[in-house]
Chains A and B, each alone.
Chain A
Amino acid sequence: MSSARPQGHPALATEAVARRLKKRYAAERRFKGACITALSLALLFLVLLFANIAVKGYTAFEQTYIGLDIRFDPQTLDPTGERDPEVLRQANYNTLVRDALTDLFPEATGRSERRELAGLVSNGAAFQLQDMVENNPSLIGLSRRVWLIASDDADMLRKGNISRDVPEEQRRLSDRQIAWMESLEAQGRVEMRFHRLFFVNGDSREPELAGIRGAVLGSFYTMLVTLALSLPLGVAAAIYLEEFAPQNRWTDLIEVNINNLAAVPSIVFGLLGLALFLNVLGLPRSAPLVGGIVLSLMTLPVVIIAARAALRSIPPSISEAAYGLGASRMQVMFHHRLPLALPGILTGTILGMARALGETAPLLMIGMVAFIVDVPKGIFDPATVLPVQVYLWADSPERAFVEKTSAAILVLLAFLILMNLAAVLLRRKTERQW
């Protein structure tokens, strides 16, 4: 650079150049620093997001249990002594829990005090006892220590999410209840256990009883429908466009269409589902069938684009060899190109399915947000899916739902990571240099 300049005093010129060079190098460092900062910021967000969810969610896999000495009182459970299953089912198991609690804390006498005392144990405790008695009627008349699910508030206290320093009227547990919990703990009657119910229960209004099984199965059925529709249709479309379509305006239109469809906001697909599938075709609301159809329309462009790329990457020499041996176009496609392109197609499909699995907005439109306790048994049953469950729980006011939501997110992310891992492995395993 300096050689292009008119030379004055040589020493002065080099000095000026050196000064300018210093400045330019500083600018260089600043720019590089800005670039590094940007990248680290983006990665920092990623770490923050994961850490935040993990820290909030991991406690949900444990649940507080309270050990109570339950007297399986024959008078309450089976007054006639006939062990009739119907009578056993109808008996009032809540009384057993309440009696056990009153035995422990005889000082709780007033109505409201007793209600507060019973509020430490979940409503689900009665079902626990019912199951025990139905499986083993010989328990009646005996006394046993049973570990019962604590209520969400007691659970939150134990996990440190309810602060003892807040004034009484601002927390969900009274001073009395906290004192009882502390005394239970001192007697070794409070324990943390693995929260199996979170994985085997459907949704519930009670956070300690709410589980993700219904949502997981709902997601499974929805994905089943999506896969069954988008894979064959996507592959068919890709084959046609790659191999058979004439080059004309009509096929151009189809191609432009597919590219634009990939960029349509997901919620618009939900509107389509509502207007067309629910209102015009009269398909059932909230069903995985409709959810799966809507999501498959969204996934279709992804599958088509991936399948076309995979088909195109198969070298022409293979088709030419097959043609040379007298194969027809269909034979070349279905006997040679498609099988060779299949790993690539599947990789694209898995990635598309992973995106569909995380999709929420279109499913809100077609009624998959309903509160559904029952675990769905097929594609026609009302159901919800994992991301919608996350949305529903995130909206619930109870503090205990925060950790449930985070835990559900962790499960969802685990599924997504598994699917992406499968796609990466599949790609690596079948990658071939032609």
Chain B
Amino acid sequence: MLPRISPNIGLQSNLAEPPLAAYLRSLELIAAYDQAEALPAHEYRFHGLSDRVRMLLAHHERRCDEVIAILARGGPATVWQVTQELSWSRGWSSVTGFMRRAVLAEAGAHLRHLADAGMVAVSAAEAGEPDRYASVT
């Protein structure tokens, strides 16, 4: 929990459960500690955990809306294609190296979350091809 930066919640092949759903549940638990001062691992200490939780929940809701809009506009797409279309604070061209892997995993986490919620359809990949996601609306 950081006061300004939203953490990278990324889909990884070795995770037992989809990470975004677990993360959103954890946020709701943290909100109960609103009287506590947050001692974060980066940036600075702050009060107002429930406010911060609301901001992060809204951030992920907007992100999901953005993913759905991309699929509705452009048709079925791979995680890589969706990632390129998403808005990034420093712009896609500035996201390089390890950060590019991280944002790819983040987009994958949102797509998986939406697929689990029935808001996005996943078409099974053919051999050697990546899965494709599509809007269901």
**Do these two chains really belong together in a complex?**
no
